[in-house]
Structure 1
Amino acid sequence: MTNPEVAIMMLCLFIVLVLLGFPIAFTLLAMGVGFGYYAYYQGGIETLSDVFTNNIFYLLNQNTYSVMENDTLVAIPLFLFMGYVVERANIVNRLFFSLQMAARNLPGSMAIAALITCAVFSTASGIVGAVVTLMGLLAFPAMANANYDKKFASGVICAGGTLGILIPPSIMLIVYAAIAELSPLRLYAAAVFPGLILAGLYIVYVIVRVWINPAIAPKPNQEDVPPASKIYLDLIFSFVPLTVLIMLVLGSILGGLATPAEAAAMGALGGLVLAVIYRSLTWRKVKESVFLTAKATAMVCWLFVGSWTFASVFSYLGGHDVIEHWFLGMNLEPWQFLVMVQLIIFILGWPLEWSEILIIFVPIFLPMLETFGVNPYFFAMLVALNLQTSFLTPPMAMSAYYLKGVLKNEIELIDIFKGILPYLGIVIFSMVLMYQFPGIALWLPDYLFGPYIP
């Protein structure tokens, strides 16, 4: 086989191994080193030491060092720590129930409260699994006790829990910035309106759906509602501090007052302060947060090392050239290129998670953006919206599995899948809307930082 054929075989074999359940980071490392040994092999092995003179080991060492010294990635452990501390600060339960009471006159008030709580909490934490799990334990039983349709309730929690990878400050956007070598500040600015619009469309869908079919979300018993003064006092005490923390972090980034890493450090400190205010800061919770942060950060770092090694070898063998020539050979218009790429990413979302798609497959398309005249920040927002589907598309739909894991026998997995399908359609509609009106993504970064110049 020629080298490009080996590269394509390398890519196909990776997909097969991932589907078989092998750990992604170490699969990337193993395949990068294995195929890289072949790619860089010079022959002439006479002694045992000659086995390790292959340049793939030098490449692996350089990639590891590059990841560990990457300033952009410093924000990841700090944002993760902020999220884990906030998760343990007992804020979410207060926020959900106070929002529920405040929205009691709207159709589907519990579902709306769950969506807003998911949006705020996932924005603070950026950890989809943590948001869906916690809201599954907190909001789903409350909605079930209020005789909400279980499919409807599960869809609300799964869709709301994924918003954190899109709405800034988002860990996913930090990862994208490092991969595509884009400004995380412009990416954050570009993601503000798409994220808010998507959350708003979710809420509109809930209201309209319940208005059409009130049986799926009965109105709460008004006799159990506390006085309005108590509701709004609870709402201020639970909603305002967390929202202020998020606004300070995001505002300092978009205002140019701090880098993402500096803002993340401020957010981590703010999370500790909130934990003190809510009297939930204990040594055990801090230790758990540090441990989970280190674990998640290590996973992300090794994903980067493995993916950069894999991508370097794939490109060296000619894999990127094959795919680029294939696209260019079809004489596509820019809109056709965008549709085809997004369709590929959407299909990849069936078996793969966002991190795998982002780190392995998106870099294949990035070099072609200039050829087709596509703004890289606009493309990033299309991808960011599309990656929502990786959590919502069966059969993998990880948000559904997170929820099923905590609810166990209370609901069937197929019912969760049915509940999330409408939100999948809303995500696709949001992508079409942003394509028709690119200013949704590009107006704010251009306003704050000036027009983008390649």
Structure 2
Amino acid sequence: MAEYIPIFMFVTVCLVLLAGYPVAFSLAGTALAFASVGALTGFFDPSFLNALPSRLFGIVTNQTLMAVPLFVFMGCMLEKSRVAEGLLESMTRLFGKMRGGLGLSVTLVGMLLAASTGIVGATVVTMGLLSLPTMLKRGYSTSLATGTICATGSLGQIIPPSIALVLLGDVLSTAYQQAQLKMGIFSPKTVSVGDLFVGAIIPGLMLVAAYSIYLMIVAWRNPEAAPGLSDEDIQAYDEGDHGSLLMNLLPPLLLIGAVLGSILAGAATPTEAAGVGAIGALLLAAVKRQLNIETLSETLSNTTKVTCMVFLILIGASVFSLVFRGFGGEELIHELFTSMPGGTFTAVLVVMLVMFLLGFILDFIEITFVIVPMVGPVLLAMGLDPVWLGIMIAVNLQTSFLTPPFGFALFYLRGVAPPEVRTTDIYKGVVPFVMIQLLLLCALAVWPELATWLPEKLYG
């Protein structure tokens, strides 16, 4: 009976979350309740909780996690400075006459916005408000328009600098150290956020290329679903005061280049690069004359809310994982995975499937802080590459957030879409993009080098 307590604990916290209680308090409250009952019945050693103060101190002094508020600030400031609006108008003038050109413009702008903000919800909402009315007005199929926006908006999960990769990098670094101790290996090698950023570049670009090819194929086979813009539409864009393509494209590209370039060159840590990005976003807002007290106040307020949410969930998850380990949960998972037929392949498949399903009810923050610390050390001890595992988790969760009927990206777009857009149209539109992402997951499983080659090439 005692060996199944970790399973009961995990099922209980899922039920509490489904009941609608706040995530951080659900995790910590469930853990402390089980610890109290376990201590009274002799199934739990209360001395495990002695490690809690040092864990919490380690969270608030973690230099890697300092990148979170800085990247969030950068994304919020860029959202307020109307970068996406100028980019979309310029790209539309460039590709608008092509069949599917407007969809291609939305995809490319979504990629740049994802790389600039790193926040899925912000990208989906921004692109939904800016491009969905235009696409529908120009005759685009409702399902194609909504599917394109949801898919490109979710690129913030995998395109660096992504908040998800920052959090995954920190958690996987700890899991990798624990795995090495399990294997009796004392190697100085670690996995960093920078490794995940570099590892995500090729899969991210592959997704963007696949989305673009799909849009071009649809436009070729069904021109009515993705028509080109008329000369009058293009002329209207040309006559507007939207600035040149170079002036709209260059600032965000320079900002992305400064952030990623400093990391790739080894000139800055991800935290230091996040500081560069935050300052760059401020300068970009000032250049666009969008920097004022109101904008700065809203940006700081949103940054504080998101940062507090992240750290509060992390604290709750730390309490949960500590109690879970005290009940022998880690040993239970290890025995379960090692006894599975098919070995490592089956273990990875089960973990990915569970994470995919949990993505319907939990955000990536909760999954990263709760599930990854449970399964990460066990999987890495089985010989998996930590960079490959991190990219697989990120793409898997991105696919989950896009999958009907519970995908978070679908809810974000539903909240800003016009009333005439049916929910079934959104669901229908994202299905081809979900299939593309599943194909990418299969490609990563067959060829891990897609995620590991570039980090090995750069860092050896």
- TM-score normalised by structure 2 residue count: 0.91
SS in 2 for 1:120: helix
- Identify which of 198, 202, 209 aligns with 2:207: 198
* Whole-Å separation in 1 of the counterparts to 2:377 and 2:253: 38
8 A Cα contact 2:91 2:245, kept in partner: yes
Displacement after TM superposition at 1:411 (Å): 1.3
Matched, 1:74 2:84: no
Displacement after TM superposition at 1:353 (Å): 2.4
Q: Which runs of 5+ in 2 are unaligned?
A: 174-190
**Amino acid in structure 1 at the alignment position of 2:200:** A
SS in 2 for 1:225: helix
Cα–Cα, structure 1 residues 227 and 155, in superposed 2: closer, same or farther, change >3 Å? Answer: closer
Aligned to 1:296: 306
Aligned to 1:24: 23
Matched, 1:157 2:157: no
* Whole-Å separation in 2 of the counterparts to 1:402 and 1:252: 32
- Identify which of 211, 215, 224 aligns with 1:215: 224
Displacement after TM superposition at 1:256 (Å): 0.6
Give CA-to-partner distance per residue, 1:235-280, whole Å, 9 cap, x none: 1111111011001100101111011111101110000000011111
The worse-fitting range, judged by mean Cα deviation, of 264-273 and 198-207 is 198-207
Aligned to 2:439: 429
**Amino acid in structure 2 at the alignment position of 1:188:** F
Aligned to 1:176: 168
Cα–Cα, structure 1 residues 93 and 273, in superposed 2: closer, same or farther, change >3 Å? Answer: same
8 A Cα contact 2:120 2:157, kept in partner: yes
* Whole-Å separation in 2 of the counterparts to 1:228 and 1:125: 26
**Amino acid in structure 2 at the alignment position of 1:304:** L
Matched, 1:91 2:100: no
Displacement after TM superposition at 1:104 (Å): 2.2
SS in 2 for 1:31: helix
Aligned to 2:110: 118
* Whole-Å separation in 2 of the counterparts to 1:228 and 1:289: 30
Displacement after TM superposition at 1:347 (Å): 2.3
SS in 1 for 2:227: coil
Cα RMSD (Å) of the superposition?
A: 2.1
Displacement after TM superposition at 1:406 (Å): 1.2
SS in 2 for 1:392: coil
Q: How many aligned positions are there?
A: 440
Matched, 1:107 2:96: no
Aligned to 1:185: 194
* Whole-Å separation in 1 of the counterparts to 2:206 and 2:367: 24
* Whole-Å separation in 1 of the counterparts to 2:357 and 2:222: 32
* Whole-Å separation in 1 of the counterparts to 2:41 and 2:378: 32
8 A Cα contact 2:348 2:379, kept in partner: no
Cα–Cα, structure 1 residues 39 and 448, in superposed 2: closer, same or farther, change >3 Å? Answer: farther
SS in 2 for 1:220: coil
Q: Which runs of 5+ in 1 are unaligned?
A: 44-52
The worse-fitting range, judged by mean Cα deviation, of 217-226 and 55-64 is 55-64
8 A Cα contact 1:36 1:56, kept in partner: no
* Whole-Å separation in 2 of the counterparts to 1:371 and 1:262: 31
SS in 1 for 2:290: coil
